[in-house]
Amino acid sequence: LVPTLSSTSYVRPRTRLFLAAGPNRQNIFEGMELFRKGDIQGSIDRFDASVPPGSSAYLWQRGISYYYNDEFAKGSKQFRDDVLQSPLDVEEIVWDAACLLRMYPETFPPTNVMSLPKGKSDRRPIMSIVYKLFRGEATERDLADAGHKGGPSEEFYSLLYLGLFCEARGELSKAESYMRSAAKTKYAEAVGSRDYMVDVVKVHCSLRHWT
């Protein structure tokens, strides 16, 4: 999901699509900056301004802003529109699942959760476990163990998605612990500090007053 320099091991296919956005790129950059400042509605407005007529795909940043604006149906639609164009994007499948869980907390896994194409998996082992967690096919312990055994980015991403998962399931004290830990990882404070998902963790903690 990261359009800027996240880490050499986590370059996402979407980077090329983002850079090809042409004149809309400035609006996306401005939306991202407003999000970093905690202006969620302002970020949505800028992302809206970047959308070509008749198109909404490839704007996962707006989907994340929708999540933090409690507009979960819009967030789900954004992620689903994107996955139609990029069916191997595990992170958008996961964020859609989080939106669905916030809308229908009594149903886990979500009844209409998206799936990767048959026989396909994410090339990043940590994200394969994240994907399974949100589908009810792995446990928190599975993801936590994988994060502990991995490098700085694996540790960060495991904590981020454990926090998102627990929040979506209504386990807020656990979510707070995971998100605060993610913000204090080596990845968040140093090697991955320019990763937009690090900004997402910081904004998440700020909006929830978990700082």
pTM score of the predicted model: 0.89
Convert the pLDDT of each residue in 126-161 to its tens digit.
Answer: 999 999 999 999 999 999 999 999 999 999 999 999
Q: What is the mean pLDDT of residues 174-189?
A: 98
pLDDT at position 211 is: 84
Nearest to 66 by CA among 105, 96, 107, 110: 96
Residue 113 CB partners (closer than 8 Å, separation 6+) = 93, 96, 97, 100, 134, 135
Q: Higher pLDDT residue, 99 or 55?
A: 99
Q: What is the mean pLDDT of residues 70-82?
A: 96
Convert the pLDDT of each residue in 161-181 to its tens digit.
Answer: 999 999 999 999 999 999 999
Q: What is the mean pLDDT of residues 115-131?
A: 94
